[in-house]
Amino acid sequence: MSPPPAPVRFGSEVRASAVLAAPLVAGHLATGLIGFVDSVIAGRHGTNTLAAVAVGTAIFWLPMMIPMGTLMALPPSVSQLAGAGRHREIGPLFRQALWLSVALGALLFGFLTLAVHALAPMGIAPEIHASATGFLHGIRWGVPALTLYFCMRYLSDGMHWTLPTMVFGFGGLLVLAPLGTVLAFGMFGVPEMGAAGLGLASAIMMWLQAIGFALYLWRAKRFAHLELFARFDRPQWPPIHRLLRTGLPIGVTVAMEGGLFIVTALLIGRLGEVPAAAHQIAINVASLCFMIPFGVAEATTVRVGHAVGTGRGSEGVRRAAFAGLAIVLATQALSATLLLLGHDHVVGVYTRDVAVASLAATLLLFAAAFQFPDGIQVLSAGALRGLKDTRVPMFIAAFAYWGIGMPLGAGLGLWLGWGPKGMWLGLIAGLTVAAVLMARRFLRSSRREALVGPPVDAPPVRVTNGA
């Protein structure tokens, strides 16, 4: 028998998690800044454009979270294989994940094509319909590229190499800012397109990111031994089914949380341009803050998965999770402080409309209140993904966000007339319940890791030599 792995000190685990998380956080911040760029350009173009982008972004990301979350099955699968030294199985698994991402992208493209017909039934203010439709018609063309991009990114993250996430994230930002401005306002002979131009610019950016990442994985020596593109493999149901079995509950969980925010945006959109625009500003700032714990949580998924693959048991798994938690508590304290002290200055970057700015600044105070529960719940969910414990967290998310958060928010905001403030109180309640239950679930699941030891993974993906 081989000796057990040497224990890792907590300080060393924190440093390892921080090094792994830093590019992920930067990459997620770049993604969040894409929404920031869209919102700033839209706000300068007009209140109607900003409100339309708010509604269009909500309708886009609500279904997008399911394929994004489903593909999150790839990092823990890859990190466990790498930790167990089974590198030859990673390339075949990746190629099956590519097939899955293509199918998910096609389904989502079809959904967005039909979604524009739901604006009126959802009660969205009529003055927003045309601009929101234009935004959705533009951005839907980038959906297939985005699912492929997530697949390639998660493969790289699972291999403990997160720098490309940062590079391609900021690269997309450098494309979107000038292109979105040109298409929205109409410059250099291009007609003014408003919200539709911002949607089209986002789609072009997504394709450039996907093509760039594919070229990187194909040429990088770091991934050469995995033979990611060495052959063409037909779709194989067993590995795709295993990815779906782990990933689909993740996708539903992510959609449950994201859906809470997105449906909140859609409900506020029924109140008119000013509440919709103010909510868009506040939720965009809150989303930028969320990118930090989200990146740390993804790193924690990889670190926990690696601890499982190397057989470090309950102690190693918990050490990896608590290292991520220490980082998240520090970053959330900073975010909450900035929101409390600087909310007026932040809002001034987005809009000159006094009514919109006043409401948005108030909503940022609510955002400050949920920084800690939001960070704890996303970190706990990330640690559970590293254990491939995804089904129970899905039910926890359903209860916390849709059994508590949404009914409370809708009741206070719409039925009692509290408006956006009532809706945001529902967000705080849902996130707090999720934080408590997710953390409790991880403590129970990680305790069982000491009993079962490292997992015996499914059989290797069968390799074919082409059609």
What residue ranges do the domains of the chain occupy? 10-452
Give 131-152 pLDDT, tens digit per residue: 888 899 999 999 999 999 999 9
**For residue 127, what pLDDT is reported?**
81
User: Residue for token digits 């290797």?
Assistant: 460
Instruction: Kindly write down the DSSP assignment for every residue of 87-100, as one continuous string.
Output: GGGHHHHHHHHHHH
d(CA 334, CA 114): 41
pLDDT band at 343 (very low <50, low <70, confident <90, very high): confident
Question: CB 399: neighbour CB atoms within 10 A?
Answer: 16
Q: What is the pLDDT of residues 354-373, one digit of tens each?
A: 888 888 888 898 989 889 99
Q: What are the tokens at 81? A: 């294989």
In sequence order, the 6+-apart residues with CB closer than 8 A to the CB of 158 are 74, 75, 76, 77, 78, 79, 82, 302, 305
Residues 6+ apart with CB under 8 A from 374: 290, 293, 332, 431, 435
**399 token code pair:** 């209860």
Q: What is the pLDDT of residue 32?
A: 67
Give me the percent of the chain exceeding a pLDDT of 90. 24
Q: What is the pLDDT of residues 289-341, one digit of tens each?
A: 888 898 899 888 888 887 877 766 677 788 888 888 999 999 999 999 998 88
Q: Residue 191: is its pLDDT beyond 90?
A: no
Residue 87 has pLDDT above 90, yes or no: no
d(CA 459, CA 17): 30
Structure tokens at 141: 């063309």
In this predicted structure, the answer to whether residue 448 has a pLDDT above a threshold of 70 is no
Q: What are phi and psi of 314, to 5 degrees?
A: -60, -40
* Pick from 400, 397, 401, 392: nearest CA to 445: 392
Helix (H) or strand (E) holding 196: helix 195-219
Q: How many residues are there in the chain?
A: 467
Is residue 72 a contact partner of residue 254, using CB atoms and an 8 Å limit? yes
**Residue whose C-alpha is closest to residue 66's, from 111, 121, 26:** 111
Confidence tier at 395 by pLDDT (50, 70, 90): very high
- The per-residue pLDDT for 4 is 47
Query: pLDDT for 21-41, tens place per residue?
Result: 888 888 777 776 777 788 788
In 55-205 the beta strands, taken as DSSP E runs, fall at none
